[in-house]
């Protein structure tokens, strides 16, 4: 944070990273303007079997086909190809994340300070069910823009090309909003100006 400039800070996180992003916003409420959260869990329990599959993903002793079954169930919506995440699972990192989760209370980071929140949830997410996003929206109201993506699981970014295009647009809008609030675009931020209009579905 000390290395960042004085402008508004946007923090983006997925899965455990969105917990870190919300904690950063809670610790630095005067610095973090917006948080973009992908796969946002924390309160609503995982779907049945998701916890076991999540643990199996980081089990290096499993046969490859059994490992991919776990990856598919925990992270991908039906019909999406899990082969893109055959590798890249680090048990030591998972253990550190689990320890950090147990060492912190949800209440410490749940509200993300006073930042505006873009919450992106996959409707087929079994690890962080979409009810989490609805809870955030219900609790924090106008501070929250909730986007529910059909055809996406916990790895929202791997929900297919149209999902990725949609997420790129959403993230760009969050960055534009922060710049508008800072005054970086001057008077060009008003809707209908033709310069940086934001279609907000919050």
User: Poorest-confidence range of 1-10, 101-110, 114-123, 178-187?
Assistant: 178-187
Query: What residue numbers bound the domain in which 32 lies?
Result: 9-189
Which residues fall within 8 angstroms of residue 118, CB to CB, at 6 or more apart?
34, 35, 36, 37, 145, 147, 170, 171, 173, 174
Does residue 159 belong to any structural domain of this protein?
A: yes
Beta strands in the chain (DSSP E): 9-14, 32-38, 116-122, 144-149
pTM of the prediction?
0.80
The predicted structure's pLDDT at residue 54: 96
The predicted structure's pLDDT at residue 102: 93
- Count of structural domains, the chain: 1
Does residue 87 belong to any structural domain of this protein?
A: yes
* Contact of 179 with 8, CB cutoff 8 Å: yes
Does residue 3 belong to any structural domain of this protein?
A: no
Chain segment 90-111, per-residue pLDDT in tens: 999 999 999 999 999 999 999 9
Does residue 19 belong to any structural domain of this protein?
A: yes
Looking up residue 110, the CATH number of its domain turns out to be: 3.40.50.1820
CB atoms within 10 A of CB 135: 16
How far apart (Å, rounded) are the C-alpha atoms in residues 31 and 46? 32
Q: For residue 4, name the pLDDT band (cuts at 50, 70, 90).
A: confident
Q: What is the arithmetic mean of pLDDT over 8-30?
A: 93
Assess whether pLDDT exceeds 50 at residue 196: no
How far apart (Å, rounded) are the C-alpha atoms in residues 102 and 49? 20
pLDDT, greater one: 42 or 174: 42
Q: Which two tokens stand for residue 75?
A: 């992270």
Assess whether pLDDT exceeds 80 at residue 164: no
Closest to 143 in 3D by CA, of 169, 120, 112: 112
* Contact of 122 with 156, CB cutoff 8 Å: yes
What dihedral do alpha carbons 13, 200, 126, 10 form, nearest 10°? 10
Chain segment 110-153, per-residue pLDDT in tens: 999 999 999 999 999 999 999 999 999 999 999 999 999 999 99
């Amino acid at each position: 944070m000390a290395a960042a400039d004085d402008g508004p800070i946007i923090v983006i996180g997925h899965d455990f990273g969105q917990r870190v992003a919300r904690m950063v916003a809670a610790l630095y409420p005067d610095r973090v303007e917006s948080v973009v959260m992908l796969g946002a869990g924390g309160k609503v329990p995982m779907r049945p079997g998701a916890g076991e599959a999540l643990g199996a993903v980081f089990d290096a002793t499993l046969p490859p086909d059994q490992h991919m079954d776990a990856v598919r169930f925990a992270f991908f919506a039906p019909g999406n190809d899990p082969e893109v995440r055959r590798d890249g699972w680090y048990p030591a990192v998972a253990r550190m994340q689990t320890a950090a989760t147990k060492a912190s209370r949800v209440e410490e980071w749940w509200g993300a300070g006073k930042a505006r929140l873009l919450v992106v949830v996959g409707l087929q997410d079994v690890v962080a069910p979409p009810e989490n996003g609805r809870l955030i929206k219900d609790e924090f109201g106008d501070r929250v823009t909730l986007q529910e993506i059909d055809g996406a699981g916990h790895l929202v970014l791997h929900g297919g090309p149209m999902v990725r295009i949609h997420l790129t647009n959403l993230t760009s809008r969050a960055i534009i909003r922060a710049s508008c609030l800072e005054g970086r675009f001057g008077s060009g931020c008003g809707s209908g100006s033709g310069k940086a209009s934001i279609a907000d579905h919050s």
